[in-house]
Structure 1
Amino acid sequence: MTTLSALTNPASYHLLSYGTLLGSTLFQSFIGGIIAFRVLPRPQFSVLQQHTFPTYFTLQSIIPVVLAFTYPRGRGGPAALYRGGENKLVVSLFATMFITAVANRAWLGPATTRCMRERKHQETRDGKKSYDAGPHSTEMERLNKKFSALHGASSLLNLFTFIAIVWYGFVLGARL
């Protein structure tokens, strides 16, 4: 295959998209986010995450669609992805990646950010940070529980996304 034909081959874009999705998810989830949490003061970490997550979850939402459209189909044409038992796994992995990322982008991410803002306002009313040692006001306790539940659900969905991405990597690797 020549370089020029590789530029027009959807499989090239499939591989680059997969690498981008795996790399960005791995880095944000297990490297960059953890380092930022450890080295930044909590208010700055919060601002960083509020600005990073919408882009991150948008990327995670779009790339599975790109993967579906650029899936290396061989002789089967575009419909080959949706035929056959082997491809049911691929479709389910793409769907898992897409649904979990969209849920984080459209619902859990914004809800978590709103809860963080509510906690910030409550900190002003209480004169105490949400993460300071207790006791806390009843409202702050409620907001802390709500934040923990939202953050935990978002993290769990992100983990499901990551697992689907890695699993697809093994499926893709078996085709090479």
Structure 2
Amino acid sequence: MSGVINKALAPFTLKGFYLLTWGTALGTNVWQTVSSFKAFGTLDRKTFGQLQAQLQPLYFAASTALTGALLGAHLYFHPNLVGSVLKAPHWWQLEEGVQGLLILAGFVPQLANLLVVGPKAVQVSLERHRLEAAEGKAYSDANPSEAMVKLNKDFSTLHGIASSLNLVSFLGLTGLGLAVSL
């Protein structure tokens, strides 16, 4: 009987966890990108902004947790990497070290989005909505106020940074999949 149970539980090993976590992290990134693009084209801007204000923190938290767990599992499989940060052979000199760097490329940008960029972008977006209501005109109307010009610039900058960080994370996770499959 225990042989049947062991075979049934075989996919639930740490290696199985590693692969499922990687797949979920990459899939979450792709889904967030695709669904955001579709929502942007379907919803009015204010509704889209409110939706993103609710979804982005969840997405960044989930993505950070998944890539953090992935990094933890990777370091568990390769404990020699923990000590090789400061001494040779360095991470970039080892196959498993390069894989660890790719995981970090997925983790660090999402952590930055979770803790810094994302909350600031949501704050600026909501300030812009409040200012639109107070001024009685949209952010894109002609002759915007100085306050609106500043908020537009701040939001564009933050959105660009968040999108770039998300792209770096996607590329890191995609690269990890390619590196592990070779």
Q: For residue 6 of structure 1, report the CA deviation from its aligned partner.
A: 2.8
2:125 counterpart of 1:116: yes
Q: For residue 81 of structure 1, report the CA deviation from its aligned partner.
A: 4.8
Name the CA distance, whole Å, in 2 between partners of 1:55 and 1:158: 14
Q: For residue 25 of structure 1, report the CA deviation from its aligned partner.
A: 0.3
2:10 matched residue in structure 1 = 5
| Deviation by residue 1:109-142 (Cα, 9 ceiling, x = unmatched) | 11001101211121123210113x3221111011
Name the CA distance, whole Å, in 2 between partners of 1:81 and 1:24: 27
Structure 1, unaligned runs of 5 or more: none
1:26 matched residue in structure 2 = 30
Deviating beyond 3 angstroms after TM superposition, the runs of 4 or more aligned structure 1 residues are 80-84
1:45 matched residue in structure 2 = 48
Amino acid at match of 1:16: L
Amino acid at match of 1:56: Y
2:107 counterpart of 1:98: yes
Partner of residue 68 from structure 1, selected from 58, 66, 71: 71
Name the CA distance, whole Å, in 1 between partners of 2:154 and 2:75: 43
- TM-score (normalised: structure 1): 0.88
**2:79 aligned counterpart, secondary structure:** helix
The answer (yes or no) to whether the contact 2:105–2:169 under 8 Å persists in 1 is yes
Question: How many residues were matched structurally?
Answer: 168
Name the CA distance, whole Å, in 2 between partners of 1:64 and 1:81: 17
- TM-score (normalised: structure 2): 0.85
Q: For residue 41 of structure 1, report the CA deviation from its aligned partner.
A: 1.1
Q: Which moved more, 1:49-58 or 1:118-127?
A: 118-127
1:79 matched residue in structure 2 = 79
1:153 matched residue in structure 2 = 161
1:163 matched residue in structure 2 = 171
The answer (yes or no) to whether the contact 1:71–1:81 under 8 Å persists in 2 is no
Per the alignment, do residues 108 and 99 of structure 1 end up closer, same or farther by CA in structure 2, a change over 3 Å counting? same
Q: For residue 107 of structure 1, report the CA deviation from its aligned partner.
A: 0.5
Per the alignment, do residues 3 and 161 of structure 1 end up closer, same or farther by CA in structure 2, a change over 3 Å counting? same
The answer (yes or no) to whether the contact 1:11–1:71 under 8 Å persists in 2 is no
The answer (yes or no) to whether the contact 2:22–2:66 under 8 Å persists in 1 is yes
| Deviation by residue 1:38-79 (Cα, 9 ceiling, x = unmatched) | 011111111111111111001111112211233397xxx551
Name the CA distance, whole Å, in 1 between partners of 2:72 and 2:128: 42
Q: For residue 4 of structure 1, report the CA deviation from its aligned partner.
A: 2.2
RMSD after superposition:
1.9
